[in-house]
Amino acid sequence: MTERCLIAALYGSLALCALRAPAQAPGYDQPYRPQVHFSPRQHWTNDPNGLVYFDHEYHLFFQYNPFGDEWGHMSWGHAVSPDLLHWRELPVAIPEENGVMIFTGSVVVDHANTSGLCSEGQSCLIAIYTGASKTPEGGRQTQNIAYSRDDGRTWTKYEKNPVLDLQLADFRDPSVQWDADARRWVMAVSLPKEHRVSFYASPDLKQWRHLSDFGPEGDTAGDWECPDLLRVPAWQGHESLWALKVGLNPGAPQGGSGEQYFLGSFDGARFVASKDRGSHGWTNYGKDDYCAISFNGLPADQPPVLMGWMSNWQYAAKLPTSPWRGQMSLPRRVSFLRDGAGLALRQEPVIDPLHEQSSALSGTAASALLAGNGLAAVAPYELDLDFGHTSEEVFGIRLYSDAQHWTEVGFDTKHREFYIDRSNSGIRISPDFPGRTVAPLAEGRPYDLRLIVDRSSIEAYAQEDTIAMTDLIFPPSTNDRIRLFVSPAQPAKISGRLWKLKSIWEKGPSAH
């Protein structure tokens, strides 16, 4: 029973309450259960897999343990959505079998039946995944395919698997797309210990030929995992660039798992990183966004959409949630920006369809926010703030769930940093959890901030969406008192808007 229903029940008006309370899909209302992010109804998840848009439906496959809330028995879970936000979980798509776990990979739409695995004259979905098995020598990872002729509902593993085997213990996470110019499939796949992404080409998804290698380059402190190659349009303008993103674990600058990107060119066979300022950065400057991949099958005139796993291998097994463990980031439309500060990847979260009531915060509302008890908000909510080009030294916002627990999000213009500080946010699930994550501030870009606060996370987008920072939090309550701060104290010129967000698990007319 929700708090509102309980109060209504005490006053004998339960019928009224039942009428008014939003219909929540059962099983999605526990403490810390994300309300605007996907999480499986029960059990463990890590990386998103096989993101694809096909026949008016978005598919999210995900690393999944069908038997428990810890990593193991890796299989592909499955969910579908009409709009990238409202997800409906379906049965396991590709299960572990005969000791071969189904690791991360991608799904493509085989429009022309190049594989010969679709029904005559039909398109079908083909999954390309890493099969991981134990061997006396320590393990073997190979690339494999499976096909579905019924919109991803049932899958058959290809009888002649594997399709690519280098006899290696570490060789994983194939990301495949159609190259319309060369009329062939291209795969980016990781050699984690060598800090290399290998590119392969195939006419039919079965035979693969090595094209080139990228790396070691950029940050090589940990294993390279989950590569993805994206054609990225300019935010404003007609130019396009290629982005190669690759996960790094452990050893990312924020600790544990992180993801770097390279902007550059791809000629169909080789990726070359640009030397321009800003061409190397981090897709996320927080601690909790890993192994993001982009959707295949989107209309050609749409920018790529990235989605990641909202956790970190340092403490993923310790999240205090039940009966599930793990969630996905919001989907984000990707573009790039080129300005006086150089190049940067931009990520705009897909969230607007969940906007409910909003209140403007400007003039007196902003001063009310600064004073007294602050403004009340209950997760999930979004807060859009514009601090303009102010010269104050440190400014930002504190989200208090009680007097001892808060999360601070701010701009420190003296040290040229944007940050989230979750040191006092709530449950400290591991020694690696509390702390501050930082991103460098770019010269000349405005101090705008968009925060999406869910029951157990904060996603921040700042400086025209060139900084994305995602951090999990486990506060004692989801009722925040929000207070702006400026230091040294000066009259602040701040405007903004607070949006209440609809839960994706509420059954509205467009929900499922």
**Nearest distance, CB of residue 100 and ligand FRU, angstroms:** 13
Among 35, 39, 45, 63, binds ligand FRU (CB under 6 A): 63
**Nearest distance, CB of residue 343 and ligand FRU, angstroms:** 27
Which of 74, 85 has the CB closer to ligand FRU? Answer: 74
User: What DSSP letter does each residue of 294-357 carry, written as one string?
Assistant: E-BS--TTSPPEEEEE---TTTGGG---SSEE--BPPPEEEEEEEETTEEEEEEEE--GGGEEE
**Nearest distance, CB of residue 172 and ligand FRU, angstroms:** 5
Answer yes or no whether residue 383 interacts with ligand FRU by CB under 6 A. Answer: no
For residues 383 and 398, what is the distance between their CA atoms, to the nearest angstrom? 12
What SS3 string covers 85-137? CCCEEEEEEECCECCEEEEEEEEEEECCCCCCCCCCCCCEEEEEEEEEECCCC
Answer yes or no whether residue 172 interacts with ligand FRU by CB under 6 A. Answer: yes
**Nearest distance, CB of residue 220 and ligand FRU, angstroms:** 16
Which of 81, 104 has the CB closer to ligand FRU? Answer: 104
Which residues neighbour 107 within 8 Å (Cβ) at sequence distance 6 or greater?
49, 50, 51, 52, 59, 61, 125, 126, 127, 128, 152, 296
Which of 132, 354 has the CB closer to ligand FRU? Answer: 132
For residues 401 and 52, what is the distance between their CA atoms, to the nearest angstrom? 38
| Contact of 143 with 188, CB cutoff 8 Å | no
For residues 69 and 321, what is the distance between their CA atoms, to the nearest angstrom? 9
Helices vs. strands in the chain: H and E counts, helices first: 3, 35
Residues 8-47 that bind ligand FRU (CB under 6 A): 46-47
Could you say which of 47, 170, 465, 480 is catalytic? 47
CA-to-CA dists, residue 167 to 175, 257, 468, angstroms: 19, 26, 38
Among 8, 107, 145, 226, binds ligand FRU (CB under 6 A): 226
Q: Give the strand pairing for 417-421 and 436-440.
A: antiparallel
Which of 104, 314 has the CB closer to ligand FRU? Answer: 104
Answer yes or no whether residue 202 interacts with ligand FRU by CB under 6 A. Answer: no
Residues 279-318 that bind ligand FRU (CB under 6 A): 290-291
Which residues neighbour 49 within 8 Å (Cβ) at sequence distance 6 or greater?
61, 62, 63, 76, 104, 105, 106, 107, 129, 293
Among 74, 197, 439, 449, binds ligand FRU (CB under 6 A): 74
Q: How many Cα atoms within 13 Å fall on the side-chain side of residue 461?
A: 21
Answer yes or no whether residue 421 interacts with ligand FRU by CB under 6 A. Answer: no
**Nearest distance, CB of residue 46 and ligand FRU, angstroms:** 5
Answer yes or no whether residue 173 interacts with ligand FRU by CB under 6 A. Answer: yes
| Contact of 215 with 223, CB cutoff 8 Å | no
Among 103, 185, 200, 474, binds ligand FRU (CB under 6 A): 103
For residues 85 and 82, what is the distance between their CA atoms, to the nearest angstrom? 8
For residues 225 and 216, what is the distance between their CA atoms, to the nearest angstrom? 13
Which of 225, 465 has the CB closer to ligand FRU? Answer: 225
Which of 63, 437 has the CB closer to ligand FRU? Answer: 63
- Active-site annotation holds for 110: no
Residues binding ligand FRU: what is the number (CB under 6 A)? Answer: 13
Which of 223, 408 has the CB closer to ligand FRU? Answer: 223
The 8-class DSSP code of residue 506 comes to: B
**Nearest distance, CB of residue 89 and ligand FRU, angstroms:** 18
Which residues neighbour 241 within 8 Å (Cβ) at sequence distance 6 or greater?
231, 232, 234, 263, 264, 265, 274, 336, 343
The 8-class DSSP code of residue 424 comes to: T
Q: Which two tokens stand for residue 19?
A: 């009428």
**Nearest distance, CB of residue 63 and ligand FRU, angstroms:** 4
Which of 171, 242 has the CB closer to ligand FRU? Answer: 171
Answer yes or no whether residue 225 interacts with ligand FRU by CB under 6 A. Answer: yes
Q: Which two tokens stand for residue 274?
A: 């640009």
Among 39, 81, 104, 456, binds ligand FRU (CB under 6 A): 104
**Nearest distance, CB of residue 165 and ligand FRU, angstroms:** 16
Residues 121-150 that bind ligand FRU (CB under 6 A): 130
Residues marked as catalytic: 47
Residues that bind ligand FRU in the complex, under the rule CB under 6 A: 46-47, 63, 74, 103-104, 130, 172-173, 225-226, 290-291
